[in-house]
Each structure stands twice: as C-alpha cells, then as structure tokens.
C-alpha cells in the first residue's frame, strides 16, 4: 500500500509526476482516488437494434481497411466500415494518425461509442475499441475518474487495475461487530466494487462503506481533539452568579435561547475544564450580548478576556458595544489593531501586561509575539470561519489554556455542524429578540429598476441609507456581471444629490476603513460594495439592501448580506435583482422572499447548491471529502455518528488491539491535516 506509484506497472517517472498533481504518490493514494461516475459498457447490442443518440457496445468485424482523408491542413479524418452480420457502421476518427495501421480486414473488435446518423448512414465517432477476447474496459461497468492534463481515463483505469492486483488482500480496520451492526461491507469487496463493480447494486454497497468509513474516521479524529481539549484544565470561574448583575442592567430581557446558551457557557467555565464552544446564531439573535455576559463574569472573577474580530472596523465596533454594555461597571476595554501608531500600541501592551486592561478587543494584532497578558482566561473569536485552527491556537497560547468561545452567524443544520465543528461543543441561539422586524425581501427583474430607484430615493430623502452589492469589481470579456465601479458611477449620475461610496476587496485597508467610517457616520448615503461587507458592521440607519446578479450568490451568502440591514427601528428591505428563469434560480429567490430563518435557508442552500461551496471545508481546517456528500449522505452520517459514539464509549483513545487499524487510519488520513490547518 505504501509503495511509490512510480514503481507500479505501467506508471514510471513521467506518469508519476502527473499523478502527484492530483495528490497521488502511493498505491494507497491511488486506491482511494474514487471514480466520479461509471459508464455501463456491460450491455452488448446488435447493430440492427442500435438507435440514434444512444451509447452502446457492439461486437464487430472489420469490413474495410482504414481510409484517410485530409479535409484541410489541420484536419485528418480516418474511417472504416465494420459489420456484425445484422448491419454495418461507419467508424470515424478525427486527427488520430495511429488508427491507420491498427485495424486489418477480418479482425474482430468490441467498440463502445455513441450512435449518430450522417447522410443517412449510421456512424460511431472516436469509439473506445478493444480486440475481442482481450477486453479490459468494454463489456463491463467502467470507472471514470477526475483527470489532470496528460492523464487519460485509460491510463488511470489501467493503473487502478494494477494497483488492486499489487495491493493484494487488504487489512480490514473497521471491526466486524461495527460492520455487522451498521450493515457495512468488508474492505476488499468494497475496494473492488467501488472501482470495477459487478453491477450498480454492488457499487452502491461499496460506496456506502467508504462514505461511512470517511465520516467515521473524521468524527473519531475530531473526538480525539475534543477529548484532548477536555482533559486540559481551564481557569475555574468560581462566582457565576455575578452574571445577574450584568443581565439585570440590560435594557432588554434575554431570550430563552440566550439564557440557555449562557448557562452552557457558565457551566463550562465553572467545570475546571477548558471550554471550546461554538455559539451559532442568526444575524440579530443576540450573540454579542451573550459574549459580553461571559466576559463580565470572567473579569469580575479577577481575570482578563480577549475578543478577536476579522476586520479593524468590526473590532472598533465591538469595543464601542462593550464600552456601552460595561458603562459605569469599572471594566476597562482596550483596543489593539494593526493600524495603531507605535506609541499607542506600546501603551496598549503595557495595559495588557499589567492587567490594567480587563478586556482586549482587536484583530490579528492580538496574537503577535509582543502581546503578553497578565491573566487571560477567556477568548471570544468572532465569525469563526475567518480564523484557522492555527490562529485560534496562537491566541489560546497567550493564556493558561483560556476558555474559547467562537461566534458564528452562519447557520448550519445541527447534524452537519457536528461534523464541521466536531472538536467543539455547540450552542445554538435559534430565536430572535421579540419585536425585531423581519427584512422584507423581493426578487425583481430589470423591468423594475426604475421603481426600485424611486423607492431608494424616497428612503434616502427620509434620512435612511442603502447598500448596493455586486459580485465583481472589474468587468471581463467573459462576464456579464454588474461592474461595481461602473454601477457606482451610474448611481452618482442618477442621484446627484446623494453621496455614493465604493468599497471592494482589493482596496487598501486604510481607504476601506475611511469609506466604511463615512457610511457608519452617515456621510455616505449609498455604499456600492462587493461582498466585503458580508462580515459586517452595525449601521442602524441602513434599511435598504440591493443585490445585483443575486442568482450568482449562494443562499447562505445572500442571507448574510441581508443581515446587514434591519438593525434599527425602521422597516428594512432587501431587493434581489435576479437574471435567468431556470427552476433552480426561481426556487432560490423564492426561498429568500418567504423566509428570514437562516437555518431553513442553509438547508435549502445545501439542497440546491450542494455542500462544496457552502462549507468551503479547506478554510475550516478539515480534510476534503473524497466520497461523502454531507447533504445527500445524511443517513450514513447519522449511522457513522452513532458508531463513533459506540467506539468512543468502549475505548475513548482507541488504544486496544481491536481498534489499532482504525487508529492508524485516523492518524494517517486526518490528524495531521486537522491540526496543521
């Protein structure tokens, strides 16, 4: 299994380089390179039964030698006639000089290709062909693999056949009792039938085994990390009742979901174990108030807390919010960002080191070496998906195993969150504060633009502000997307009395901050932006969100963008300019118009778009899924979660001989990737 792919029959140095481009370096890597689909070449047909448009296998005899005809300078057409006694087919190749001497009259072949008609004659263009009696990839179900330049299906298929032979009998690592309990097939049967199945039922059985295995291995690895975290002692927050002093002074009552989440956090902080908790909640569900309450408890117990945000603008806003929450409570909140002057930074460092700073709010600047805390006991990281595991670990190293609280405004169905954040405990704030108005959402076509602009003008004249979001910043020849710069100019012309600002991803941070500050302060009426506002700032005065080319965004992304408005007392509106009338686009826009529930929207997003774009697993520090589809395979996911719990209950560290193989598999496939990312 660990044999270098170079030494596999038929590979060699050059092909090994091509395989390495797709991450294949050993025989084992190749075996776990699963097909993207299969072609059924098992059914043979007589020529007389063939129908135009179908792809078939036919057994034929060569009736005429190959003739070549040069149609133009760069186009060579080769053709021959074949027959099976029930009819004849004209076989055609384009620009294939090798077939001229390949076929002799009277030779028998199996051909696989698509039947077409040309000038009344039946044709097969560029078919797969094999000599009768030497069939390898015809007359059976054949795997099709994702390829890279220079690798053909035939090369990968042949190499895979050789790899299966070379590997011999594989050692099973999922114990028999687990396989029997969850009806999972044995490894050797599965490996053969995932690549070269006897029939599609055998393929489905094999696929189920590898989906189960992949999800089981991932969950056990994450359990391992969770176990590692849970045995690490954290600062004990003795007096959790002091939190009442904070919540009683709030100008609003906490929702039941906020109270439940706060209880879970305080239970962790008092337990003596290091907390690693994710708080998931929709935009506006009150995550910041919960984080502030936890910070209050930690500070009142004599320790320090830190809050880390992905952007300077958001860090400044968090500081202002915390200052407001802790007004007259004797809690000192200090800001630390990269753009601060050296003198300001040195002053902040001293405050942090001496303990004069109770709470530090900042960007990545917090994890720099120069920053030393006196007694860091709690770290709150905002918008989890903007931080890798490595950055979280650096921040945690600033204290003595400080409690970690991670906030995410991207609602994900709970079963899937357990995979994505398997190393964290999860709290969900699944209700909005009473009285909060839903954002009214409308999907419109280009014919409504004048009316939308008239509505926009009326609102701005009444003192409100608006976001206009575009998917791209620069027009390209291949793209018909709205150009943000061009749109900003059009809006400036259409509304000469309004101040229109423009913000995009590649803009210098100082200029970006300047533009955003202008919008927050009300100097800019309309902010034209790419999705850099997705992780956003609280602008209570902004009540209109217009999204251009809305069909190009994922639903979860649209929902995040929509959450930027409706933060004040006025009714907020989101207008989606959508192009394209296909059923999926209609369904997606309809979902946005009928629901403000982020969890429902994320379910629909997964259904309509698939998990790839939705999760972006690389940025979460998880290995990419080789075969599992986190949405379509939810039934198998549920089984693997139960199996992982069974195994964990029996042998939490997988130290017994029974789980030796599984442990090795986890260490090889997952542990390094999860930790390193």
CA-nearest of 95, 97, 90 to 71 is: 95
Looking up residue 66, the CATH number of its domain turns out to be 2.40.50.140
Measured CA to CA, the distance from residue 219 to residue 238 in angstroms comes to: 33
Last residue of a domain, one of 429, 456, 490: 429
pLDDT at 195: 96
pLDDT at 352: 96
CA-nearest of 451, 440, 456, 491 to 470 is: 491
Q: Give domain status of residue 523, yes or no.
A: yes
Q: Are residues 410 and 502 in the same domain?
A: no
Measured CA to CA, the distance from residue 396 to residue 381 in angstroms comes to: 11
- The pTM (predicted TM-score) of the whole model is 0.63
| Residue 553: C-alpha distances to residues 101, 235, 371, 447, 609 (Å) | 53, 43, 39, 21, 10
Q: Give domain status of residue 615, yes or no.
A: no
| Secondary-structure percent of the chain, ordered helix, strand, coil, rounded to 5 | 45, 20, 35
Q: Are residues 347 and 474 in the same domain?
A: no
- The percent of residues above 70 in pLDDT, for the chain, comes to 88
Q: Are residues 129 and 272 in the same domain?
A: no
Measured CA to CA, the distance from residue 275 to residue 265 in angstroms comes to: 8
pLDDT at 219: 83
Mean pLDDT by 10 residues, the chain (677 residues): 86 90 90 92 90 92 92 89 94 90 92 91 92 88 88 91 91 94 96 94 96 90 66 82 92 92 94 88 86 96 92 86 93 93 94 96 87 93 62 75 85 66 78 81 92 94 92 52 78 92 80 85 90 65 92 84 83 90 85 88 71 42 68 83 90 89 80 40
Q: What are phi and psi of 278, to 5 degrees?
A: -100, 130
Last residue of a domain, one of 139, 165, 188: 139
Looking up residue 334, the CATH number of its domain turns out to be 3.40.50.300
What is the tally of structural domains in the chain?
3
Q: Are 382 and 356 in contact (CB under 8 A)?
A: no
Measured CA to CA, the distance from residue 633 to residue 416 in angstroms comes to: 11
Q: Are residues 389 and 530 in the same domain?
A: no
Q: Are residues 372 and 448 in the same domain?
A: no
Q: What are phi and psi of 626, to 5 degrees?
A: -85, -35
What range does the domain containing 120 cover?
43-139
Q: Are residues 444 and 379 in the same domain?
A: no
Q: Are residues 292 and 320 in the same domain?
A: yes
Q: Give domain status of residue 122, yes or no.
A: yes
Residues β-bridged to residue 577: 444
Q: Give domain status of residue 71, yes or no.
A: yes
Last residue of a domain, one of 571, 595, 619: 595
Q: Are residues 552 and 478 in the same domain?
A: yes
Q: Are residues 422 and 454 in the same domain?
A: no
Q: Are 547 and 561 in contact (CB under 8 A)?
A: yes
Q: Give domain status of residue 160, yes or no.
A: no
Q: Are residues 267 and 409 in the same domain?
A: yes
Query: pLDDT, tens digit, for every residue of 459-473?
Result: 999 999 999 998 765
Q: Are residues 405 and 505 in the same domain?
A: no
Residues β-bridged to residue 544: 466, 573
Q: Give domain status of residue 424, yes or no.
A: yes
Q: Give domain status of residue 295, yes or no.
A: yes
For residue 458, give the H/E element and its range. Answer: helix 449-461
Q: Are residues 273 and 411 in the same domain?
A: yes
What secondary structure letter does DSSP report for 433?
A: P
Q: Give domain status of residue 35, yes or no.
A: no
């Amino acid at each position: 299994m660990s044999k270098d792919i170079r030494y596999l029959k038929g590979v060699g140095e050059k092909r090994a380089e091509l395989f390495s481009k797709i991450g294949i370096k050993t025989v084992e890597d190749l075996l776990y390179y699963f097909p993207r689909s299969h072609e059924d070449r098992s059914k043979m047909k007589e020529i007389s039964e063939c129908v135009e448009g179908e792809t078939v296998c036919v057994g034929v005899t060569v009736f005429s030698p190959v003739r070549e005809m040069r149609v133009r300078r760069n186009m060579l057409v080769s053709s021959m006639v074949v027959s099976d006694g029930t009819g004849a087919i004209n076989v055609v190749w384009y620009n294939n000089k090798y077939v001229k001497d390949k076929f002799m009259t009277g030779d028998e072949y199996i051909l696989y290709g698509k039947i077409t008609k040309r000038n009344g004659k039946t044709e097969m263009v560029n078919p797969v062909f094999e000599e009768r009696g030497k069939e390898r990839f015809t007359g059976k179900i054949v795997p099709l693999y994702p390829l890279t330049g220079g690798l053909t299906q035939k090369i990968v298929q042949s190499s895979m056949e050789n790899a299966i032979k070379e590997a011999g009998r594989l050692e099973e690592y999922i114990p028999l009792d687990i396989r029997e309990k969850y009806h999972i097939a044995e490894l050797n049967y599965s490996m053969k039938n995932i690549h070269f199945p006897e029939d599609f039922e055998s393929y489905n059985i094999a696929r189920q085994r590898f989906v189960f295995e992949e999800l089981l291995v991932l969950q056990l690895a994450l359990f391992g990390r969770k176990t590692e975290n849970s045995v690490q002692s954290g600062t004990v927050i003795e007096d959790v009742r002091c939190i009442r002093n904070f919540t009683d002074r709030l100008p609003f009552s906490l929702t039941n979901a906020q109270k439940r989440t706060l209880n879970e956090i305080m239970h962790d902080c008092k337990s003596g174990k290091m907390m690693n908790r994710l708080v998931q909640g929709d935009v506006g569900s009150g995550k910041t108030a919960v984080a502030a309450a936890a910070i209050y408890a930690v500070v009142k117990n004599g320790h320090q807390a830190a809050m880390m945000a992905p952007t300077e603008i958001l860090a400044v806003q968090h500081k202002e919010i915390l200052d407001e929450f802790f007004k007259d409570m004797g809690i000192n909140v200090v800001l630390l960002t990269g753009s601060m002057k050296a003198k300001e930074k040195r002053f902040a460092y001293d405050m942090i080191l001496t303990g004069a700073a109770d709470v530090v709010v900042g960007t990545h600047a917090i994890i720099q070496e120069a920053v030393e805390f006196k007694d860091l006991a709690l770290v709150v990281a905002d918008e989890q998906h903007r931080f890798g595991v490595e950055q979280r670990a650096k921040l945690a190293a600033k204290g003595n195993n400080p409690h970690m609280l991670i906030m995410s405004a991207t609602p994900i169905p709970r079963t899937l969150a357990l995979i994505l954040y398997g190393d964290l405990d999860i709290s969900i704030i699944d209700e909005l504060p009473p009285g909060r108005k839903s954002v009214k959402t409308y999907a419109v076509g280009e014919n409504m633009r004048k009316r939308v602009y008239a509505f926009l003008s009326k609102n701005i004249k009444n003192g409100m502000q608006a976001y206009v979001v575009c998917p791209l910043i620069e027009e390209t020849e291949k793209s018909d997307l709205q150009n943000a710069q061009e749109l900003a100019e059009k809006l400036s012309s259409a509304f000469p009395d309004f101040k229109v600002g423009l913000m995009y991803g590649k803009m210098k941070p100082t200029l970006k901050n300047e533009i955003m500050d202008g919008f927050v302060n009300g100097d800019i009426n309309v902010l034209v932006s790419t999705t850099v506002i997705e992780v956003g700032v609280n602008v209570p005065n902004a009540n209109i969100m217009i999204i251009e080319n809305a069909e190009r965004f994922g639903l979860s992304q649209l929902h995040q963008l929509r959450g930027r408005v409706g933060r004040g007392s006025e009714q907020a509106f989101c207008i989606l300019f959508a192009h394209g009338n296909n059923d999926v686009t209609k369904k997606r826009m309809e979902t946005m118009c009928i629901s403000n529930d982020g969890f429902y929207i994320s379910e629909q997003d997964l259904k309509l778009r698939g998990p790839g774009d939705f999760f972006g697993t690389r940025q979460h520090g998880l290995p990419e899924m080789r075969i599992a589809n986190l949405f379509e395979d939810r039934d198998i996911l549920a089984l693997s979660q139960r199996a992982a719990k069974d195994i964990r209950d029996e042998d939490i560290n997988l130290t017994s001989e029974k789980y030796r193989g599984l442990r090795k598999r986890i260490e090889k496939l997952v542990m390094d990737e999860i930790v390193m990312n």
